[in-house]
Structure 1
């Protein structure tokens, strides 16, 4: 039961008893529009006897023949619908829905769906129930057209993508006088990336550490709300013993138009960086890398 009426159609019948006395098996309402199609209600006041509706009120939703004439031979319309009967005493609508088949397919061979046993005649005609008051009753319909998807999105996770390591050798490190430097751009997972290095540190790493970040090269070309998940390591290569420096756990971050870079403000101390025994700095050059382990791809 609900208080608000069906959103698409109400069908009021006066003098129901006279209608039921006629020899006409069913009565059809005027057409109404919903979801770009024309519909009508089909009422069997004495029940649809061919569908086990004897002793009941039968009510159906039908897509109009005139509507389907312009459709292709293999047309179909998928609908989530409810049929209604008004309790006129309590001003409440009884909503009837097939919970076992929430979406119904209307097609050439089946243009009409509903309930052969909507209500028993006894229940319907019992004045205490409010469905038939002063020989008047009101039925209704509400439907939602289930359209096929207009767009298909697909996300896949690519493990160890081809060419997933971005390597950047920085020459003449001691002569670097800018706040930040950018590596050449490299495409991984159909997305362009680069590395960012702050030679003298960034924010809380300033003057004490080298800061290193992985960044999207063209974040403004991502659709709004689009995210790219990346699992990756940032690394400083040991050019002597291959005892490379990186944190134990890789980064796992989502890059988007608002946050296009992630990394470490305190990646490695400048003291360790310049310690010749560690092999990070050789002939005033160092090598930093981003190794992408997992990346999302959205189609």
Structure 2
């Protein structure tokens, strides 16, 4: 097998809209190109401070390339965060920012843009990030290419997009180890029930309160021939799902065989939310079967629900 290669995160494009954070326009480019201060880093020009995302920055342009950063033969461009800005943080920490560099092209009447899609962490240990090979020098310096225009002008720019700290979040977890996962409901004198439906007492499982809802002769869709069974979240203010909240429940509902050998079981795997707090079966068990073998000698029906999983969600507070 061949050796793997890293995927480049550098993206180049053209854009009509000018830079949003800072623009550096240079008149008499040849003069500044000859007068940039030579240093151990190479020839560079540092802009004035500008503000973006609540911090102060400088744009740094190496007109002859940053030789120490493999930039020979190219225009190199960087952004430096002002160290005083970092002192605003207590304790000092990293500032994450996306960088997009611009070079105006008069011939195209557009900005050549180049960016590294990786967000850069600025800190006291690393205050400068950028790109060492923005444009080949021979391309930039050729008047026919359009980067130097109207005699001897050029323009550089940058967008510094500061990533704000995370304030909106959600953590979804699934509790699969529920203590006492079963709830039993004994319905006495089943054949004498007159109401259309009956609710069990509320019970707590997975940090929520629930009820079983029983229709002795089925709900309106059961044609009076079926037992309908539903699991619902208890109808109390503290247990109703809030807006955009989803609660997952997985488990089994059973009508128990008095002889203990042939229970009728249905598997639930459903999401409960504000608009649908209950799930179940319109036709869980035919009344003919129920009367034949699922009522004991005292005319008692026994139901059981066993919870396997209940989800819970933690989230950031909503501010309006």
TM-score under structure 2 length normalisation: 0.83
Is the 1:236–1:280 contact (alpha carbons within 8 Å) kept by the matching residues of 2? no
Report what 1:128 is aligned to.
144
Matched, 1:280 2:288: no
Instruction: Give, in angstroms, the shift of residue 194 of structure 1.
Output: 1.0
Does the Cα contact within 8 Å between 1:31 and 1:38 map onto a contact in 2?
yes
Q: Unaligned regions of 5+ residues in structure 1, if any?
A: none
1:32 aligns with 2:50: yes
The count of residues paired between Structure 1 and Structure 2 equals 293
Q: Does 1:2 align with 2:14?
A: yes
Aligned to 1:65: 83
Aligned to 1:7, what secondary structure does the other structure show?
A: coil
Whole-Å Cα distance in 2 between the matches of residues 75 and 160 of structure 1?
39
After superposition, the C-alpha distances for 1:20-60 in whole angstroms (9 at most, x for unaligned) are 12143433323333222222211222333443434432221
Tell me the equivalent position of 1:11: 24
TM-score (normalizing by structure 1): 0.88
1:215-263 deviations in Å (ceiling 9; x for gaps): 111486433222122222221111234421224xx22211111111111
**Residue 243 of structure 1 aligns with which residue?**
262
How far residue 147 of structure 1 moved from its aligned partner, in angstroms, is: 3.8
Is the aligned partner of 1:88 residue 2:106?
yes
Equivalent residues of 1:241, 1:279 under 8 A apart: no
Structure-2 change in CA distance of 1:64 and 1:263 (3 Å): same
The Cα shift of 1:211 comes to 0.8
Is 1:211–1:267's contact at 8 Å kept on the other side of the alignment? yes
The separation in 1 between residues aligned to 2:168 and 2:264, in whole angstroms, is 45
Quick one: distance in 1 between partners of 2:200 and 2:67? 80
Helix, strand or coil at the partner of 1:75 = coil
RMSD value, Cα: 2.3
2:284 counterpart of 1:267: yes
Structure 2 regions of 5+ residues with no counterpart?
Answer: 1-12, 38-42, 315-320
Aligned partners of 1:160 and 1:44: how far apart in 2?
61
* 1:204 paired residue number: 221
Q: How does 1:103-252 map to 2 (within 5 A)?
A: 103-134=119-150, 135-150=152-167, 153-159=170-176, 161-218=178-235, 221-247=240-266, 250-252=267-269
Paired with 2:97 and 2:219, the residues of 1 have a C-alpha distance of: 58
Aligned to 2:309: 294
Q: Distance in 2 between matches of 1:21 and 1:212?
A: 86
SS of the residue corresponding to residue 113 of structure 1 reads strand
- Matched with 2:35 is 22
Give deviations 1:143-188, integer Å, cap 9, x for gaps. Answer: 3323443355333333362222221111232332222211111111
SS of the residue corresponding to residue 246 of structure 1 reads strand
1:19 Cα deviation from its structure 2 partner: 1.1
Distance, in Å, in 1 between the alignment partners of 2:256 and 2:70 is 81
